[in-house]
Amino acid sequence: MSHPLIVIGAGLAGWTTIREFRKLDPDTAVTLITADSGDFYAKPTLSNAFAQQRGPSQLVTTPAARMAETLKVTLLAHTEVLAIDPAQNLVRTGQGELTYRDLVLATGAHAIRLSLAGDAAEQVLSVNSLDDFAAFHARLLAERAPEAAKARVLIMGAGLIGCEFANDLAGTGHPVQLVDPASAPIAALLPAQASAELKDALTGLGVQWHFGTTVTAVDQANAGDTASGAMHVTLANGQSLEADLVLSAIGLRANTTLPLAAGLQCERGVLVDACLRTSQPHIYALGDNAQYAGQDWDLATSAPLSGGRTLPYVMPIMNAAKALAATLTGTRTELVFPLMPVGIKTPALPIVVAPPAPGMAGEWHSTSPGIWQFRDPDDQVRGFVLTGTQTNQRMAQSKLVVL
């Protein structure tokens, strides 16, 4: 009997790869091993669930068992892969070993944790999975100062995810404070003027900002009193703030412990070539744990080299899963990313951003209210940002971008 295709990870990358694979190959055995339940949900909904009054269970769009049945998958849920042995095509779990024909790593990323002082530092939450969201949701309902209508939330990080949560929470009546070492929200992706517009829009919802500083300590407001849940948050600038809940949204780091231990080449993610092959035969990677090939590809040895990028967004996964399914079913397919604008879910000021490639020379130019283009030294459009009603210009602006 031939060995199955094994996929590790039941996030968007794992399930989408299997769905695309099944379109091309209805018969080959597929095993999905995942540390979580395997229930299918759209992770982007985690940062706008409150506005839609949806709790954790309502975010599951298809239960794991139904996914497995529909896609003819042997599902090993709540099962962590502990080791990979590329020499023998084996994966090891607590329940035993399995042999693969091909292996797909779709193990995602983990939230970066700051090392903080204080007796409540361990209570700082991050949201990068449905389980994380369930914990956050439960705490948000429980931690409420007696006199306050809604729990006060302090968010560390005014990047894309931090601002989306700020909008969702402030928009549903939670007092929200944002702390970030930068001087403006989503400063890494947006031109200064767009960033200022977003700041004004969220300020309009009551969001308070603390820029140019970081959180250094989180303590119980009343030592020994865990009942009220109130916390003192100390900032590097010496300021002290009060909150009922602290959410860390300072970024993600690809999960590379497992592949590194198996001898796979990793940098900011698992290095893959244009066909999503890792440095070991029969092992592929995509999604938040992958570092997609850059220009410096060694054609002579087909070895993945550094220089690529991680792309922790939905559209890269959809494109990568399609290409990988074709390769896994015998049609070697190189992944060529199209332009992939990202919609930022801040309804107070909707934003679409198509960022230029990292390190690209050029400048942002405002072409009309709500539209910015990133132009290189040859005046070619390499990216754009749209705000407010101009977000409906996504298609028109996309056509102008030179990839």
Ligand X SMILES: Cc1cc2nc3c(=O)[nH]c(=O)nc-3n(C[C@H](O)[C@H](O)[C@H](O)COP(=O)(O)OP(=O)(O)OC[C@H]3O[C@@H](n4cnc5c(N)ncnc54)[C@H](O)[C@@H]3O)c2cc1C
Q: Which of residues 198-237 bind ligand X (CB under 6 A)?
A: none
- CB 17 → ligand X: shortest distance, Å? 9
* CB 156, min distance to ligand X, A: 14
Is residue 345 within 8 Å of residue 47, measured between CB atoms? yes
Instruction: Enumerate the β-bridge partners of residue 154.
Output: 177, 246
# binding residues, ligand X (CB under 6 A) = 34
Show the binding pattern over residues 343-372: x = contacts ligand X (CB under 6 A), - = does not.
--x---------------------------
Q: Which amino acid is at 373?
A: Q
Find the binder of ligand X among 31, 47, 279, 373 (CB under 6 A). Answer: 47
Q: Does 144 bind ligand X (CB under 6 A)?
A: no
In whole angstroms, what is the distance from residue 384 CA to residue 223 CA? 49
Site for ligand X in 66-85 (CB under 6 A): 80-81
Strand pairing class (30-33; 73-76): parallel
Note whether 262 binds ligand X by CB under 6 A. Answer: no
Tokens of 365: 């130019």
Write out the DSSP string of 300-324: TTTB--S--B---SHHHHHHHHHHH
Q: Is 12 in the site for ligand X (CB under 6 A)?
A: yes
**Nearest-approach distance from CB 224 to ligand X, in angstroms:** 33
Contact positions with ligand X (CB under 6 A) in 100-129: 106-108, 127-128
**Which residue from 43, 139, 210, 277 is in contact with ligand X, where contact means CB under 6 A?**
43
Tell me which residue has tokens 């300072």.
Answer: 250
| Smallest distance, ligand X to C-beta of residue 255, A | 5
Q: Which of these, 393, 132, 344, 361, lies nearest to 247 by C-alpha position?
A: 132
CA distances in angstroms from 79 to 67, 69, 285, 293, listed in the order given: 17, 18, 19, 30
Mark the segment that binds ligand X (CB under 6 A) among 40-48, 95-103, 135-143, 295-303. 40-48
Nearest-angstrom CA–CA distance, 159 and 323: 30
Interface with ligand X (CB under 6 A): 8-14, 33-36, 43-44, 46-47, 80-81, 106-108, 127-128, 161, 255, 258, 287-288, 312-315, 317, 342, 345
